[in-house]
Structure 1
Amino acid sequence: MSDDLNPDFEVPVGLFQDLAGLKAAVTSLTAQVQALTEAAGEDAGEALADDGTEAVEEPEDEWQYPPFILLLDSPQYDAELRALIEWVEGVLVPGYLAEPSSDARWCPEWFEHPVAVARLHACWLAWQELTDPATCGYTGPSVWHRDHLDPCLRELRSSTGPFAGCTKGEHQIGHRMPGLVPSAWRQPEE
């Protein structure tokens, strides 16, 4: 029975060397993580350079993610809005919007509604990323429809959405803005 608990087999010597190498690598990585954690206030690149490893510098011309449109000032806002209008009027409206109704509203002056601009810009950013097979594979368009387009249109076109005050012949921009700030939001006057 004791022979069953201690089987007779040889362990290759190389296995012990591999384990020693792995242990050394784990120890080194643990030290690097600890150094980075301790230097949380410092730049990570500086902490790595202090460790004796070479810091990797990012190229200056690296592509930047586009900023959210509501965070932009003119003229960047104007340029981004023109590009968004081109996408909405050229892709979204002809391809996805049916005739507006009381259950599915749409304002032809949607670009004057900040909430609509924000939602459509977010949807457009997702479309740019998820329709490129190089970055998201072939399921990206399906994900875009399910996770971005459908919820966006549901919110925009609902009877309580940003176009709630707009009808076929009338555009109303200020209908969602409260006239008075509730008293709980006001600062007490001294």
Structure 2
Amino acid sequence: MADEPEDGPELDVPIGMFEDIEDLKAQIASLTTLVKRLAGGEEGESGEASAEAEEAADEEGAEEEWQYPPFILLLDPPEYDTELRGLIEWVEGVLVPGYLAEPSSDARWCHLWFEHTVAIARLHAVWLSWQELTDPASCGYTGPSVWHRDHLDPALRELRGSSGPFAGCTKGEHQIEHRMPGLVPSAWRHEDA
């Protein structure tokens, strides 16, 4: 774009924000076109333009309705890798410093948590709920309380418990083989090709 400087400062922006901005730009462009059509600013009869604009708005609304974040274990590379990077940033930047005290025999944690499929699955679910429930516009001001009670606390109990995915991992040691089943559904495999 001509308005943006080429040698601007490098900003530390969360991964998903650029996608959100691009989505907003597309929505604004679509709404601008719709307003022009409804106002009769483009060629064609106003009745024709109105019908076309309504159809376009209905189609766009239907598309947006189903654009929910997918569950990470159902993604294939490179989408899986992108989602995992975002999850790692959130876990290491928010969850670990804010909620995880020093690991102990009663509260396990593996510094290589991202190598445990069960941990990835549970933490991704917690992250998706955090994104939704910490936005006052969508859930009001009780969202964070609901997130703690219904999502974070149960997930941490399962992850850090004596039979959780980190059961064989102790301070300084990392064991993953003990938790991996022999057969994994193909949608859950993410091996480098």
TM-score normalised by L of structure 1: 0.63
Q: What does residue 131 of structure 2 align with? A: 128
Q: Computing the radius of gyration over CA atoms, which structure comes out larger, 1 or 2?
A: 1
Amino acid across the alignment from 2:118 = V
Q: What does residue 57 of structure 1 align with? A: 58
Using CA pairs below 8 Å that are at least 6 residues apart, which structure has the higher relative contact order?
Answer: 2
How far apart in 2 are the matches of 1:116 and 1:178? 14
From 58, 74, 79, give the equivalent of 1:76.
79
How far apart in 1 are the matches of 2:95 and 2:167? 20
Is it true that 1:172 corresponds to 2:175 in the alignment? yes
1:23-42 alignment, distance < 5 Å: none
1:57 CA displacement = 2.7
How far apart in 1 are the matches of 2:182 and 2:118? 17
**1:58 is paired with a residue of what secondary structure?**
helix
Amino acid across the alignment from 1:83 = G
**1:91 is paired with a residue of what secondary structure?**
helix
1:62 CA displacement = 2.3
How far apart in 1 are the matches of 2:148 and 2:59? 34
1:132 CA displacement = 0.1
Is it true that 1:107 corresponds to 2:91 in the alignment? no
What per-residue deviation string (whole Å, max 9, x for no partner) do you get for residues 112-157 of structure 1? 0000000000000000000000000000000000000000000000
How far apart in 1 are the matches of 2:119 and 2:136? 28
Which structure 1 residue ranges, 5 or more long, are not aligned?
1-53, 181-190
What per-residue deviation string (whole Å, max 9, x for no partner) do you get for residues 29-78 of structure 1? xxxxxxxxxxxxxxxxxxxxxxxxx9883307626111000000000000
How far apart in 2 are the matches of 1:70 and 1:175? 20
Q: What does residue 66 of structure 1 align with? A: 69
From 132, 137, 141, give the equivalent of 2:140.
137
Amino acid across the alignment from 1:137 = G
RMSD value over aligned CA atoms?
A: 2.0
